[in-house]
Each structure stands twice: as C-alpha cells, then as structure tokens.
Amino acid sequence: MTRTAIVTGAARGIGAATARRLAADGHAVAIVDLVEEQAAETAQAITADGGTAIGIGADVSDAGAVTAAVDRVTAELGAPTILVNNAGILRDNLLFKMSESDWDAVMNVHLRGAFLMSRAVQAHQVEAKWGRIVNLSSTSALGNRGQANYAAAKAGMQGLTKTLAIELGRYGVTANAVAPGFIETDMTRATAERMGVPFDAFVDAMVKEIPVARSGRPEDVAAAVSFFCSEGAGFVSGQVLYVAGGPRA
C-alpha cells in the first residue's frame, strides 16, 4: 500500500538512501532538509527513477517551519503517516572545550527536531489509525569520547522512541529507533578531516573493530528503516536496532 513518508536530513547520506529505499518500496516521499535546493536534487533523482518525491527546505528545530513543511507535504503528497527523524549535525569536542552553542545546536536539531516533527505528524497518523515513526540513534548513545552532546542526544532519541511507542501504540502507530555504527558518509568523512587523518586510513582503522570486517553503507541503515516502516512490522515497537556490523562495534 502506498503511504506518504517524510524523511528529514535527506538531501544526502543516510537520509537520502532511506528516501530512495522508501520510494522503491512504493511510498511517496518528502525529502526535508535545511537547504531546499539540495533536498530538491535528491527528490529529482528519485523522480527520475520512477518514484514520487518532493524536496522541502525547513529547519526542523523551528516549530513554524515544521508546521509549514508538514502542511505542504499533506497538500502535495497526501497526509504523511511515515516519519523518519534522521536530521542531525556534529559539533564534536572534549567536554572542557565544548561551548554552550555546540551543545544547544546538537540538541536542537536531533531532539527538538524529532519532537517537533513527531508532534506534527502524529496528528495524521492518529487520524489514519496507522503510522510508523523511525528515529535515528547511534552507537554513540553508549558513550563516545569527544561527543558528550551527540551521545546525549542519541541516547535521548532512544528514550523519545520508547515513549512515543507507549503513547501512540493504541492508535496503530509504532515507534522504533535505528542506531548505526560506522557508516561511510560525508559526516564521517568530515570527522576524519577534523582529526587530520586521511579518510581511507580512518576507514581501515574503524573496520578493524567491526566483526563483519567492512564499513557500513547508508543503504544498510535504509534497509533497517524500511523494515520498521513496513506493514509486517506492526507488532514491533519501542525497539532499538543497532546496525553496526556486530554487537560491540
């Protein structure tokens, strides 16, 4: 059955791969990202492949922008009943070097953004008596040096997920989280650059710690999201699935 899905932070990386996968699954997809031109490029690529997609520029941490974006999706694609909260940023630093603005920026995009998007979309899900919310967490939720803000936000995404599952389950809405390990994206490439390490060397070092002996790809994460969004996942809710190539990656 065709549904309308929203994927945030979907202009590139994991978000773009997820949008492509959901479109391939037969859903109409709204790509939401900070810069509309970049979101539109991803949408156009999906359309060129025979899917249905639109690109929308919105700051997910801005309540007014979120309301406007969801209203536009509803008008152009139909009421959204699938939501993937993927938008995220990095502001890594050791605790004693981390500024308040670094902390706030990460919390606002990850947690406030997921809260605002979920609050806006749940109205359509409850009305439809069907819905899927998938939040992107991370293995960093378990703790990671130099990421006090990001780790706290990603752990918070898991708590938000479990609470949404409890509150919305009676309306046919499931909420789950996907927690990726090391995935090759522009974000991890930027991390290597910040550390002054060639990306190939960075990947090689990370792969040595991964049991399946390879790095992750955005499509690996998209496959997990696709399952949680499927009709068959209706009895799976409040779960966190680590997509990390092993139990300790």
Side-chain half-sphere CA neighbours of 39 within 13 A:
22
161 and 110 in contact (C-beta within 8 Å)? no
Tokens of 22: 């959901």
CA 114 to chain centre: 9
Beta-carbon contacts of 124 under 8 Å, excluding residues fewer than 6 positions away, are 70, 74, 79, 80, 81, 131
List the catalytic residues.
150
- Residue 61: both structure tokens together: 């941490």
One-letter amino acid at 119 equals R
Sign of CA dihedral 123, 124, 127, 129: negative
Compute the distance between CA of residue 94 and CA of residue 28 in angstroms, rounded to an integer: 41
Question: From CA 219, how far away is CA 1, in angstroms rounded?
Answer: 22
**How many other C-beta atoms lie within 10 A of the C-beta of residue 238?**
16
